[in-house]
Amino acid sequence: MTEPLVVEFAVAAPPAHAFEVWTNRVATWWPDSHTLSGDPASITFEPGPGGRIVEVAADGARHEWGEVLEWDPPRRLRFLWHLFFDREEATEVEVRFLDDRGGTLVRLEQTGWDRLGTAGPPRRDRTRGAWTSIMAHYAAATAAGWAAEPGVG
């Protein structure tokens, strides 16, 4: 069995804000280099189970990245994830937003590598580097957005 990919990090904002930035402000932190179009006009998590994760390119082309499986704001989000791959190769990502003394511990766990056969372990290893890089952008956007909220700071 291929071990899950786990990435944990802290952000300087409460869980409700961290969840909001993850789900409703994706385009403020997701790098263009990790999109299908390279120039997204928007990136959207449609709320609730069955909601799609969609990139809309500047030219209007739509690219589905995944599907929401569980939507439990501000604590938890779980989704099928197939950015850059066919839906049949989707893995599952669970993101938890845990209260951490006024901030948030974000715990991302990605599973389902075994369904990819021998491609699973190397894909998991490459994906770890991508998530680590992307999460630095997310943490900065979350902290900056929280500091900019009225009455904060």
What confidence tens digit (pLDDT) does each residue in 62-93 have?
999 999 999 999 999 999 999 999 899 999 99
Whether 51 is in a domain gets the answer no
For residues 84-105, average pLDDT = 94
The tokens for 51 are 């909601």
Output 75-79 pairs: Cβ under 8 A, ≥24 positions apart. 75/15, 75/19, 77/19, 77/22, 77/23, 77/45, 79/45, 79/53
For residues 119-136, average pLDDT = 93
The whole domain housing 112 covers 5-31+75-146
Q: Which residues, 6 or more positions from 79, have their beta carbon under 8 angstroms from its beta carbon?
A: 45, 53, 66, 67, 68, 69, 70, 92, 93
* Number of structural domains in the chain: 1
Whether 36 is in a domain gets the answer no
pTM for the model: 0.92
Which CATH number covers residue 95?
3.30.530.20
The tokens for 4 are 């899950």
Note whether 28 and 11 are within 8 A (CB): no
What confidence tens digit (pLDDT) does each residue in 9-28 have?
999 999 999 999 999 999 99
pLDDT beyond 80 at 151? no
What b/e readout covers 20-32, taking b as 16+ CB neighbours within 10 angstroms? bbbbebbbebbee
